[in-house]
Structure 1
Amino acid sequence: MRRLILCSDDFAFSRAVSATIAGLAQDGKLNAISCMAVMPGWSDDSALLHDLPPHVEIGLHLTLTEERPLTAMPGYAPDGILPTINEVTRRASRGGVPLDEIAREVTAQFDAFIAAMGRPPAFVDGHQHSHVLPGIRGIVLAETARRAPGAWLRDCTDRLSAMLARPFLGKAIGSAYHSRGFRRDAAKLGLATNDSFAGHYDFAHDYAAILPRMLRKPGRRHLVMCHPGAGERTGDTIAAARPREADGLRTTNITDIAAREGLAFPA
């Protein structure tokens, strides 16, 4: 049977976000959690993950934008703050990112994840999908193959017919464009990926109402990203959406809406 992977991004973004995500997973509302091992609270927050149900996959949310890196990156983040995704995308498309600095930072984030969890990540993706960008993707794929060869990676592409059936087509096409060829590149290293992807929206709509539409026309491993949370943190542009998503997940019978699309959840 096809499988729904409902993955919360941004674990360790703040303690309130981490506690909300862990609680949802404990209640059977999530079956994957992607962790920001770059964050100062990561080590403490990771304790919330150790007693979750065994079907909940714990992955690494590589963070190369808008936070403080773990390593010195004078060419990439000269002021000590990682650049915005728009800047990274522009620089990467022109071959203008210092790949040696990025490689050291990616290694450091793998190290931080493994130190806290005692095992490699079950999957790997990137904050704001920076892991698929030119130059950066090769580093991420090679490090995953070396450190977590059994992990799968987030591919943001999908069939056009599937994207047309879901909300926010423009955002989906943008993610797919930057991810083109990623699945092929992963396969060359023996790495798996999801085979369909959804979760795009404007962070303003009623999440419970829009979630079923994200499950339309799934692949065999249908990945849906989400960003539930609570509280506020300076600079968080989606702070208002996080509790709405959390409430939407709590009140939705995810198993039933998944089954209507031929998807198994939570397993």
Structure 2
Amino acid sequence: MGRRKKHIVMCADDFGMNEHVNRAVLELATVRRLSATSCLTQGAAWPSGAGRLRALDIDVGLHINFTEALDSDNHFHRPLSRLMLKAWLRQLDVAMLVREIERQCDAFEQHMLREPDFFDGHQHVHQFPQIRDALIEVLVRRYDCDDVWVRSTAMRHASLKGGLQLKGHLIALLGSAALCRRLRREGVPFNADFAGVYDFTGGAARFARNMDGWLAAVEDGALIMCHPAQTGDPNDTLGEQRVAEYGFLKGEAFGALLQRHDCRVTRMQT
């Protein structure tokens, strides 16, 4: 008897940031190498890209942003280190955070003409203290909690060694356990496992080795995040590696890895 296939959500972050990212996501979703994308609704390319997402059979979510000044409608943003400090000291205004999340929800619904399928955070801010409180308040009041899911960053595998594995666990320690407890209490689904953390260096070869490890180790129901773009943006520090990710994800080698590890790219099973 063959191994049971693992259902994996392949999620591209940062849709709407620029046209380079948008084109990569749209192409990869069309050929079913992606099953989800997380959207920066304050990004310059969000209004033009949203309409093209509507026809695709993928999960489309809100990538909550509190760390980058993407446009004039970005009412609140702080450098990541400062935001973390304020969150852990409980010095953020939760009512203000709720309003900012609502604005980003409004921008999502205005252009997608529907509610988000899921929520996560740019640089994982959605799991920080106070920010997760604001997110849960919005979910409970504004949406049917059975119909949306939230990204968990909890890694239940050991797919990478040394520093990269440490980075993944550090991200989870920023609030994943507390967020998951709140989500269970409110009946909000979340992914069973998480991967995709690395230092965004090494080109396509490094990304391929990482992907091999992730696919081998993750559980059924895992989410693997990625950050593809068709071409690099000179204003984007990840631009070169985004192009490398895109090249690998569209190629035959990724398809071969999915087969080898009995993985199927699917939408979230809630």
Task: Please give the TM-score of this superposition, normalised by the length of structure 2.
Answer: 0.87
Instruction: Report the residue type matching 2:25 in the other structure.
Output: I
Q: Find out whether 1:170 has 2:172 as its counterpart.
A: no
* Cα pair distance change 1:258/1:182, threshold 3 Å: farther
Aligned to 1:61: 63
The DSSP-based 3-state class of the residue aligned with 1:223 is strand
Instruction: Report the residue type matching 2:172 in the other structure.
Output: A
Q: How does 1:146-185 map to 2 (within 5 A)?
A: 146-148=141-143, 149=145, 150-159=147-156, 162=157, 164-167=158-161, 168-178=164-174, 179-185=176-182
Which structure 1 segments of 5+ residues have no match? none
The DSSP-based 3-state class of the residue aligned with 2:239 is coil
Aligned to 1:186: 183
The counterpart of 1:204, out of the listed 196, 201, 206, is 201
Looking at structure 2, the residues matched to 210 and 72 of structure 1 have their Cα atoms a distance apart, in angstroms, of 34
Q: Find out whether 1:246 has 2:246 as its counterpart.
A: yes
Q: Which moved more, 1:8-17 or 1:178-187?
A: 178-187
Aligned to 2:12: 8
* Cα pair distance change 1:255/1:181, threshold 3 Å: farther
What does the per-residue CA deviation read over 1:225-257, in whole Å, with 9 as the maximum and x for residues that have no partner? 000013444542211111000001011454543
- C-alpha displacement of 1:183: 1.2
Number of equivalences: 255
Looking at structure 2, the residues matched to 59 and 34 of structure 1 have their Cα atoms a distance apart, in angstroms, of 5
The DSSP-based 3-state class of the residue aligned with 1:212 is helix
Q: Find out whether 1:124 has 2:119 as its counterpart.
A: yes
Q: 1:71·1:105 contact (CA, 8 Å) conserved in 2?
A: no
Q: How does 1:44-123 map to 2 (within 5 A)?
A: 44-52=48-56, 54=57, 56-68=58-70, 73=75, 77=76, 82-123=77-118
- C-alpha displacement of 1:85: 1.6
What does the per-residue CA deviation read over 1:202-237, in whole Å, with 9 as the maximum and x for residues that have no partner? 111222232111123222311000000134445422
* Cα pair distance change 1:215/1:91, threshold 3 Å: same
Q: Find out whether 1:30 has 2:34 as its counterpart.
A: yes
- C-alpha displacement of 1:71: 5.4
- C-alpha displacement of 1:173: 0.8
Q: 2:24·2:229 contact (CA, 8 Å) conserved in 1?
A: yes
- C-alpha displacement of 1:165: 2.8
Q: 1:9·1:227 contact (CA, 8 Å) conserved in 2?
A: yes
Which structure 2 segments of 5+ residues have no match? none
- C-alpha displacement of 1:18: 0.6
Looking at structure 1, the residues matched to 183 and 71 of structure 2 have their Cα atoms a distance apart, in angstroms, of 25
* Cα pair distance change 1:231/1:157, threshold 3 Å: same
Instruction: Report the residue type matching 1:263 in the other structure.
Output: C
| Cα root mean square deviation, aligned | 2.0
Instruction: Report the residue type matching 2:46 in the other structure.
Output: W
Q: How does 1:229-240 map to 2 (within 5 A)?
A: 229-233=229-233, 235-240=235-240
The DSSP-based 3-state class of the residue aligned with 2:13 is strand
Looking at structure 1, the residues matched to 123 and 74 of structure 2 have their Cα atoms a distance apart, in angstroms, of 21
Instruction: Report the residue type matching 1:154 in the other structure.
Output: R
- C-alpha displacement of 1:264: 2.5
Task: Please give the TM-score of this superposition, normalised by the length of structure 1.
Answer: 0.88
Q: 1:166·1:216 contact (CA, 8 Å) conserved in 2?
A: no
